[in-house]
Structure 1
Amino acid sequence: MVDSGLLSLPKPRLGWFGASAALALLAVLGTAAAWRWWRRSRPRGQLRLKRVGTVSGLFIYPIKSCRGVAVERAEVTKLGLRSGDMSDRCWLVIKEDGHMVTARQEPQLVLISVTGENGGLTLSAPEMSDLHIPVRPPTENPVHNCRLFGTDIQGKDCGEEAAQWITAFLKSEPYRLVHFDPNMVPRNSKDFFDTFQADDKIVYPDCSPVMVLSEASLGELNSRLEKKVQIRNFRPNILVTGCSPYEEDTWNDIVIGDVEMKGKMGCPRCIFTTIDPDTGIMDRKEPLETLKSYRLCDPSEQRIYKSHPLFGWYFGIDKTGTLRVGDLVYKITW
């Protein structure tokens, strides 16, 4: 490991056969697909890596819009982070007609805490008794067709007790809790933004399996705010320290531990960021208005981001593996 930040290792020379094979592959797969195949096929020792930061936090959000769980170690799958029985955004609150319910509609969802152990989840919320449910709902439970941002995905019902618990806490119309079973078909990130590749898959996240944010970016934003905000307002999966504000925007390809990820696009922010994570109250103004004052996209990218300010960066998973708090973050250079 090189503390200067730059790890320069020899690259192999392509012989005649290697060059010919690469050209043939380009013709068959197309430039982008062939490039990804060639990069993934190279041994780690043949990559040129520049140290850009250190992982200071890892977060999993088992139920979409509910509180996250800080972990010291996480497995990175193609669908996002996982730790023990908890997988990122693999549970979802829905209306009885299958439409998703998030904190945009029910801000107090952010007050529901989730823990996982011994094959079950425990849900906790203010003035509610804890609820214990199995990680895998019983086989006989019905499967719902769920609707998220105009796309369909299945979810297995977690049962009447879970439905009644969530409905009682939110004091709402009848809601249900569903779980994504491994045999179900995930959604395609590319259906939402063409910056993603065809093999970028998600369950119930908005559009990406992983979001990265730096402590420096949060600190810079807070320097502009009268009332400071928390990292919980922005719900990253990976928090990084030791870099400059918004430097994560420039990390096209990164290596952390034995995981490789590719930057896809900025994270467009909405009124969710204005929900106080301690009270569940949405004020609809800050920090969103301040972000809009200086974090709007370049005019050439308005077709992607429209009027949403950017804060954090979305990544796709090129190589699965394991992350730990304290891992160094390297940017792949060419």
Structure 2
Amino acid sequence: MGAASSAVAARLGLPASPIPARLGVAALALAALALGAAACHRAQARRRRRRGQRRQRVGTVSQVCIYPVKSCMGVPVDAAEITAMGLRTGSLRDRFWLVIKEDGHMVTARQEPRLVLVSITFENDCLIFKAPDMDQVVLPTKLPSSNKIQDCRIFGIDIQGRDCGDEIAQWFTKFLKTEAFRLVQFETNMKGRVSKKILPTNENYQVAYPDASPVHILSDASLADLNTRLKKKVTMENFRPNIVVTGCGAFEEDTWDELVIGDVELKKVQCCSRCIMTTVDPDTGIIDRKEPLETLKSYRLCDPSERHLYKSSPLFGVYYSVTKVGNLQVGDPVYRLVE
């Protein structure tokens, strides 16, 4: 095969060897046309679907938050790029880092509630970790290729991560004081967890270390409604959404199947079923195991027809997949697509 044919083959992801040099360019050109036609067909189908829909404004983005390390504090941002695997700003990405046990099993605030006390700032392509009674530690987001690739498990699903080194491992071990821990980082060339292994959904996407989807949305009206029912008020930090919407009614987000925010398009996967993670006090790192979960169960259980999806867990917030990548920011209007 000639150099030009090889280059085209590489771009198309096709093997180079089976195509004779004399026919290589023509065959690859046909393949390229076929791929282009398929992409055009998908775009046309999408436009046809959009023609029958209109935008209805349902609110405004009031907060955007990236949670770099699963179960640690979030990093509020004014704007973010929404990729197929979730939020990012530069090399700071949502839930691309994970604390694990030495056997590779994930560790979250469900098992180690004090993880919520670990704060993270982002400067010069480095994560800066701070926690009570601990010296800060700095971790570059670009790790040496010599660092080991760890096999990990999240909710019984296998995934990999590059080990972040001994210094940060010893830091988490010293802070949590229970056993030895490591920190790993997901890299974009790794295979994410596939949606159909996580949830009973027809949506096709991958995630790194989030529980279930690339984007999690909650309205401030829903939180306000919950707080009218609680003796001790809770905050958004108990629920860890990526995007908070203001200007809508309580639990209206349950009804938003397709959203447009900035130049991003999102599609509802399902509501977010809640667990004891919500009972960890973000200010003290103490797990209550009761509230606000018990109050949510008193009025936010699913319809009986959806028990196969949510069982006995209460619903609070919504998981979304990304149908069009792009950028959004605080202050953006939130539009629902309606017929």
Question: What TM-score results when the alignment is normalised by the length of structure 2?
Answer: 0.86
Distance 2:245 2:42 in 1: 25
Distance 1:330 1:299 in 2: 29
Distance 1:106 1:288 in 2: 18
TM-superposition CA deviations, 1:17-50 (whole Å, max 9, x none): xxxxxxxxxxxx9xxxx99865534698885100
Quick check: 1:72 aligned with 2:69?
Answer: no
Quick check: 1:59 aligned with 2:65?
Answer: yes
How many positions carry a matched residue from both structures? Answer: 301
Residue 112 of structure 2: aligned partner: 106
TM-superposition CA deviations, 1:300-328 (whole Å, max 9, x none): 11111011000000000000000100000
Distance 1:128 1:45 in 2: 56
Give structure 1 stretches of 5+ with no counterpart.
Answer: 1-28
Distance 2:139 2:46 in 1: 39
Q: Tell me the CA shift for residue 85 of structure 1.
A: 2.5
For residues 39 and 233 of structure 1, do their structure 2 counterparts lie closer, same or farther at Cα, with a shift above 3 Å needed?
A: farther
Give structure 2 stretches of 5+ with no counterpart.
Answer: 1-37
Q: Tell me the CA shift for residue 84 of structure 1.
A: 2.4
Q: Which of the pair has more CA radius of gyration?
A: 2
Query: Per the alignment, in what secondary structure is the counterpart of residue 56 of structure 2?
Result: strand
Quick check: 1:211 aligned with 2:208?
Answer: no
Quick check: 1:255 aligned with 2:269?
Answer: no
Residue 309 of structure 1: aligned partner: 314
For residues 44 and 69 of structure 1, do their structure 2 counterparts lie closer, same or farther at Cα, with a shift above 3 Å needed?
A: farther
- Does the CA contact (< 8 Å) of 1:136 and 1:181 recur in 2? no
Query: Per the alignment, in what secondary structure is the counterpart of residue 101 of structure 1?
Result: coil
Residue 87 of structure 1: aligned partner: 93
Q: Tell me the CA shift for residue 271 of structure 1.
A: 0.4
TM-superposition CA deviations, 1:112-143 (whole Å, max 9, x none): 01111212111110111110011021110000
Query: Per the alignment, in what secondary structure is the counterpart of residue 172 of structure 2?
Result: helix
Query: Per the alignment, in what secondary structure is the counterpart of residue 144 of structure 1?
Result: strand
Distance 2:43 2:201 in 1: 18
Q: Tell me the CA shift for residue 333 of structure 1.
A: 1.1
**% same residue:** 59
Query: Per the alignment, in what secondary structure is the counterpart of residue 232 of structure 1?
Result: helix
**Residue 225 of structure 2: which of 206, 220, 224 is its match?**
220
One-letter identity of the residue aligned with 1:141: N
Distance 2:143 2:323 in 1: 31
For residues 272 and 196 of structure 1, do their structure 2 counterparts lie closer, same or farther at Cα, with a shift above 3 Å needed?
A: farther
Distance 2:157 2:103 in 1: 14
Query: Per the alignment, in what secondary structure is the counterpart of residue 295 of structure 2?
Result: helix
Residue 127 of structure 1: aligned partner: 133
For residues 313 and 128 of structure 1, do their structure 2 counterparts lie closer, same or farther at Cα, with a shift above 3 Å needed?
A: same
TM-superposition CA deviations, 1:151-206 (whole Å, max 9, x none): 111100000001000000001211000000111111112212122412x2100011
TM-superposition CA deviations, 1:212-251 (whole Å, max 9, x none): 0000000000000111000100000000000000000000
Distance 1:332 1:246 in 2: 17
Residue 167 of structure 2: aligned partner: 161
